[in-house]
């Protein structure tokens, strides 16, 4: 039985440029992580300064490389990047050239902007990856909540879904009450019990109290949107999906709250933190891999690099800034002396902020994900399942919005039409087999017609 996580990751090993991206990410990010670990044990020694310079430039070069690639992909300037159809030494030299340009940019901004340039990575890389993790968590919750998709609602589904919804909202309210009042005020000895499990729980909650207020305001907004959305879809099968999503979001929020309370001592990149981050990275890469595959199969377009580049940019920036925070917490470190502000002087609170940020961004991602699913994805997915089954479904057994897209029993499904092609022209009706036309390439020889993207596959085979 294939594992979805591994199926998505396989895409990154099917094309040479994706393998190149993965190699650059591993080489720059994990080398910087290893050097940062050595720095924490070399503070005050002559070895610290050269290690710091090596760490800063290597970590920055990797993040800048993927940042430049992301920007060019967004601007659709693919020809300037290494996604061209060329192969061999030309493409490899172009990739090395961009690495050299990225290193030059790192040196230039270090001279022109000094240590302030690190804030760029903090905003776009560190916070960006935290928001990305929150989005992935919301998408995972939505995927689990939509395993069962009733085609039609009813009284039984509506009442059962409402009970599940109340459980989810109750969990969110209970977590907020515990974090903001019950535990800090030791109500009924709850604070003492929690401290027995997490010794630094009270200190961590107090140092990030304002951030927790904002985070649970966002969670409250999500609960309100879920309640209003439920009433809108109460008579439809989507009510169950809304209720299940609310429960899973509340469970994820509890996990983030536990992370805030459990951390103790100075910030450090321990095995658990690295493992969790690597899991989210693998999950992100797998999701992007599946998305790339689906986009190629459905739109017949070439592979796009925006998803992988953006993922590696955010991940490399996150690891880079996270390592800086860890080093800054070491007394007397050179990097710690670079910044004379609360960001470094209160490094433990800064390190905890990433969990607060996840708790804040997570419900926002869940709101947009759920609304997008209800407005677009749900109807499309159910209609596609009905179409693939080949079994006619009576309109009375479907919600009204789904029945509008399903033909009545005895009627055929409408043919798929291509956009931009006039009726009667070849290629207009995608449901018919393609005509046996011939194509002419640079050699002026007649060859069978090819779909978009097949040229790249042929070039890989020749290579």
| pLDDT tens digits along 358-400 | 788 778 878 887 787 777 777 777 777 777 766 666 666 666 7
Torsion sign over Cα 66, 70, 71, 72: positive
The two three-digit tokens of residue 435, written as one number: 């005509």
The residue ranges of DSSP E strands in 314-398, in sequence order, are none
Report whether 308 contacts 12 (CB < 8 A).
yes
The two three-digit tokens of residue 180, written as one number: 């903001």
Measure the CA–CA gap between 78 and 73, rounded to whole angstroms: 6
Residues in the chain, overall count: 463
Measure the CA–CA gap between 25 and 102, rounded to whole angstroms: 13
pTM for this structure? 0.65
Question: If we measure between CA atoms, which residue out of 1, 2, 7, 3 comes closest to residue 285?
Answer: 7
Averaged pLDDT of the chain: 73
Q: Hey, how many other C-beta atoms are within 10 angstroms of the C-beta on 413?
A: 12
Measure the CA–CA gap between 307 and 309, rounded to whole angstroms: 6
User: Given the structure tokens 């001592």, which residue do they identify?
Assistant: 265
Report whether 158 contacts 234 (CB < 8 A).
yes
- For residue 425, CA distances in Å to 290, 293, 409, 422 come to 33, 28, 30, 6
The two three-digit tokens of residue 126, written as one number: 């560190």
Question: If we measure between CA atoms, which residue out of 357, 337, 336 comes closest to residue 347?
Answer: 336
Torsion sign over Cα 8, 10, 15, 18: positive
Using alpha carbons only, how large is the chain's radius of gyration in Å?
Answer: 26
User: Given the structure tokens 């760490």, which residue do they identify?
Assistant: 55
The two three-digit tokens of residue 190, written as one number: 């709850």
Reading the chain (463 residues) residue by residue, the pLDDT tens digits are 455 556 667 777 777 777 888 888 888 877 877 787 788 778 788 888 888 888 888 888 888 888 888 888 888 777 777 655 555 566 667 778 888 888 888 888 877 776 677 667 666 777 777 777 667 666 666 666 666 656 666 777 788 888 999 999 999 999 999 999 989 888 888 888 888 888 888 888 887 888 889 889 999 999 999 899 888 877 777 788 888 888 888 888 888 888 888 877 655 556 666 676 677 667 666 766 665 555 544 444 444 677 778 878 887 887 777 777 777 777 777 777 776 555 555 556 666 677 787 788 778 878 887 787 777 777 777 777 777 766 666 666 666 766 666 666 666 666 554 455 566 655 555 544 444 444 444 454 545 444 444 444 455 555 5
Mark residue 419 as left, alpha or beta (left: phi above 0; alpha: psi -120 to 50; beta: remaining): beta
User: Given the structure tokens 């609170």, which residue do they identify?
Assistant: 349
- Farthest-apart Cα atoms in the chain, separation: 85
- State the Cα angle at 93 between 90 and 98, rounded to 5°: 125
The two three-digit tokens of residue 226, written as one number: 């879920």
Measure the CA–CA gap between 247 and 164, rounded to whole angstroms: 7
Q: Helix, strand, or coil here: 448?
A: strand
The two three-digit tokens of residue 355, written as one number: 């969990």
User: Given the structure tokens 């097949």, which residue do they identify?
Assistant: 454
Report whether 130 contacts 318 (CB < 8 A).
yes
DSSP state of 417: B
Phi–psi pair at 397, nearest 5 degrees: -100, 10
Tens digit of each residue's pLDDT (9 = 90 or more) over 114-157: 667 766 766 677 777 777 766 766 666 666 666 665 666 677 77
In order, the DSSP letters of 22-47 are HHHHIIIIIHHHHHHHHHHTSTTSTT
Long-range CB pairs of 408-413, under 8 A, 24+ apart, other chains included: 413/387
Q: Hey, how many other C-beta atoms are within 10 angstroms of the C-beta on 92?
A: 14
DSSP state of 452: T
């Amino acid at each position: 039985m294939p594992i979805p996580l591994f199926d998505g990751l396989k895409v990154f090993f099917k094309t040479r440029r994706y393998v190149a991206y993965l190699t650059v990410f591993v080489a720059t990010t994990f080398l910087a992580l290893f050097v940062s670990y050595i720095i924490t044990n070399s503070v005050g020694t002559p070895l610290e300064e050269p290690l710091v310079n090596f760490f800063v430039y290597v970590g920055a070069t990797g993040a800048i490389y993927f940042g430049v690639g992301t920007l060019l992909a967004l601007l659709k300037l693919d020809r300037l990047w290494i996604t061209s159809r060329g192969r061999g030494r030309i493409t490899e030299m172009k990739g090395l050239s961009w690495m050299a340009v990225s290193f030059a940019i790192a040196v230039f901004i270090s001279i022109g902007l000094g240590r302030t340039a690190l804030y760029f990575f903090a905003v776009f890389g560190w916070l960006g990856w935290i928001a990305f993790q929150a989005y992935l968590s919301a998408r995972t919750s939505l995927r689990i909540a939509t395993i069962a998709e009733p085609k039609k609602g009813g009284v039984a589904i509506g009442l059962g879904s409402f009970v599940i919804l109340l459980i989810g909202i109750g969990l969110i309210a209970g977590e907020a009450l515990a974090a903001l009042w019950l535990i800090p005020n030791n109500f009924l000895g709850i604070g003492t019990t929690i401290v027995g499990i997490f010794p630094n729980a009270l200190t961590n909650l107090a140092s990030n109290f304002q951030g927790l207020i904002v985070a649970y305001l966002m969670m409250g907004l999500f609960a309100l949107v879920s309640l209003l959305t439920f009433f809108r879809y109460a008579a439809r099968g989507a009510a169950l999906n809304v209720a299940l999503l609310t429960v899973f979001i509340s469970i994820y929020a509890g996990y983030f709250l536990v992370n805030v309370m459990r951390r103790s001592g100075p910030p450090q990149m321990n095995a658990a933190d690295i493992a969790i981050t690597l899991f989210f990275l693998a999950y992100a890469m797998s999701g992007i891999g599946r998305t790339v595959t689906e986009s190629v199969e459905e739109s017949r377009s070439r592979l796009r690099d925006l998803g992988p580049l953006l993922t590696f940019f955010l991940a490399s920036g996150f690891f880079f800034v996270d390592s800086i925070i860890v080093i800054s917490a070491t007394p007397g470190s050179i990097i710690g002396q670079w910044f004379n502000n609360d960001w470094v002087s209160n490094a433990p609170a800064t390190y905890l902020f990433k969990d607060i940020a996840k708790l804040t961004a997570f419900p926002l991602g869940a709101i947009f994900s759920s609304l997008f699913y209800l407005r677009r994805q749900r109807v499309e997915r159910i209609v596609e399942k009905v179409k693939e089954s080949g079994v006619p479904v009576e309109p009375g057994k479907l919600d009204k919005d789904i029945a509008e897209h399903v033909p009545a029993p005895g009627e055929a499904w409408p043919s798929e039409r291509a956009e931009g092609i006039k009726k009667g022209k070849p290629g207009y009706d995608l449901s018919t087999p393609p005509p046996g036309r011939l194509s002419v390439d640079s050699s002026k020889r007649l060859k069978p017609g090819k779909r978009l993207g097949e040229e790249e596959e042929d070039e890989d085979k020749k290579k």
